[in-house]
Structure 1
Amino acid sequence: MSAYWLARSIVNDPVLYKRYADQVPDIVAAYGGRILARGGKFEILEGPEKFTRFVVIEFPSLEQARACFHSERYQSAARWRRQDGAGEVELAIVESLDA
């Protein structure tokens, strides 16, 4: 079953955050992931309006989504968005329904 990374974030330092964001597509692809939404127009229908960037990434399985997040490559890239509060992120993985 497919699984999805659902992330919402705010970019506080665009230069540091870009160092992270530029690496993510290749890392995700190495785990069979496909970016479905990354930035772009959005509308908050309910909840806090703190976050200004939304990302949806599809993976072939929950295991591959987890492996990508915990990989050395992803964690190394993520240090750029964590450095000096360059970005704040909430990230969840959700498994799709069995169709």
Structure 2
Amino acid sequence: MTTTPRRTIRIPDAEWDAGLAKAQAQGQTLTDVLRRLLASYLVSNPDELSEYGTEYRATPKDADSSLTVEGITGRFEDVRRLYPPKRWYLEERTVSPYKAASRRAA
């Protein structure tokens, strides 16, 4: 059982139902979607203190995609300078801190 405390938020039924349907269609829970969105919000607001970070993946435009570079960290400006848009597709993701592992019932 999870140790995360329950939270209460107000969301109109139409938005909740649409979000729930889309999350289920993608094999996710709405809780996972909301956590990811909150993490993204925290990272996008430099005034907020956050334990979350951003990780980049660069894929060459004109070469074999097996040359993709993953796990790139640092300021966006520095990463973009190393992987210029003329030659690289750049993707980002939010990375959360580690938490205690537990076994889940299958």
Q: TM-score, normalised by structure 2?
A: 0.28
Q: TM-score, normalised by structure 1?
A: 0.29
Which has the larger share of strand? 1
